[in-house]
């Protein structure tokens, strides 16, 4: 499967990330789910009601979704998803942890097995469950467009209903298959890449910077790693690393007041001018320009 861009890039381009104030958004699949996506680490959770044929991969496993399913995506787990039908019916919602942590709400929903890393995220549905959960998503779509002052409280309740419905079920494991060698290597690489982020200390520099570093950590030859990653994603290992580093650079420029030289060090650049040149080559703008545009 050829990589078509990360979900972060796709959602940012389409403007369908969770609203910064409400920390929640909901959509019909439609045009948003026509192309394959590689789901790297994000800062939001996702729940999908998939009503059309597709293929989902995570860790070293994959499954074909050939009937209606409810799927839970954890921000820390890299996924890949591929449509196997031209028309993708269904719904999805995106939410940040703040959405279920406000005021007196506990973290229990985030701590359920549904949303933990390493859990099986796929729940196949009966006809009755499809009707029930589809109705909840339709209500959320209607409610998010309303002017009701307490609509986000109501949307939380709808989200609770979906999660509790899934908690009454068991995830399906009969269709799980182990990936081939290239897929396993690629997902191990993507997981290892994501473990280095986010950067929360300017004095902490990335330990793994190059394809060779990752190959050593995975105990394989760098050529083997590069071949596997290119075969599965359509992009070189170095591009994945560069894309993720520059994505983190943008986040640090936006959300911290760290000097650019400290951001450069934390991202593994020995000199700030190396970082500036790489950032401009990748984005077309200097780090300073990006930071000024945010202020």
- Among residues 174, 173, 159, 187, the alpha carbon closest in space to that of 60 is found at 187
Which stretches in the chain have pLDDT values below 70? Answer: 1-22, 38-42, 59-61, 76, 78, 101-119, 170-179, 294-295
Given a contact cutoff of 8 angstroms between Cβ atoms, the answer to whether 183 and 232 are in contact is: yes
Query: CA 285, 13, 8, 53 torsion: positive or negative?
Result: negative
Phi, psi of 146 (to 5 degrees): -80, 170
Q: What's the pLDDT tens digit per position in 39-53?
A: 655 678 889 999 999
Q: What mean pLDDT is reported for the chain?
A: 81
pLDDT at site 110: 58
- Residue 211's Cβ-count burial label (10 Å; 0-12, 13-18, 19+) is buried
- pTM comes to 0.57
Q: Assign 55 to helix, strand or coil.
A: strand
């Amino acid at each position: 499967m050829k990589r078509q861009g990360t979900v972060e890039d796709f959602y940012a381009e389409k403007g369908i990330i969770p609203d910064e104030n409400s920390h929640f958004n909901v959509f019909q699949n439609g045009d948003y789910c026509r192309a394959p996506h590689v789901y790297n680490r994000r800062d939001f959770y996702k729940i999908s009601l998939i009503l059309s044929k597709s293929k989902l991969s995570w860790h070293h496993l994959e499954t074909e979704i050939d009937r209606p399913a409810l799927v839970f995506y954890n921000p820390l787990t890299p996924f890949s998803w591929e449509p196997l039908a031209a028309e993708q019916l269904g719904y999805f919602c995106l939410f940040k942890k703040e959405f279920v942590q406000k005021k007196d709400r506990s973290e229990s929903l985030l701590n359920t097995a549904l949303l933990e890393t390493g859990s099986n995220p796929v729940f196949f549905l009966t006809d009755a469950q499809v009707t029930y959960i589809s109705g909840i998503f339709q209500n959320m779509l209607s409610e998010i467009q309303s002017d009701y002052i307490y609509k986000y409280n109501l949307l939380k309740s709808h989200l609770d209903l979906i999660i509790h419905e899934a908690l009454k079920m068991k995830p399906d494991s009969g269709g799980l298959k182990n990936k081939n060698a290239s897929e396993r290597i690629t997902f191990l690489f993507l997981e290892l890449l994501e473990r280095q982020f986010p950067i929360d200390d300017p004095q902490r520099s990335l330990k793994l910077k190059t394809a060779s570093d990752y190959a050593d950590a995975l105990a394989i030859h760098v050529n083997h790693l590069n071949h596997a990653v290119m075969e599965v994603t359509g992009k070189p290992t170095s591009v994945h690393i560069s894309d993720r580093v520059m994505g983190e650079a943008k986040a640090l420029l936006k959300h911290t007041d760290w000097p650019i030289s400290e951001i450069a060090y934390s991202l593994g650049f020995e000199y700030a001018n190396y970082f500036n040149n790489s950032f401009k080559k990748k984005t077309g703008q200097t780090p300073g320009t990006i930071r000024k545009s945010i202020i």
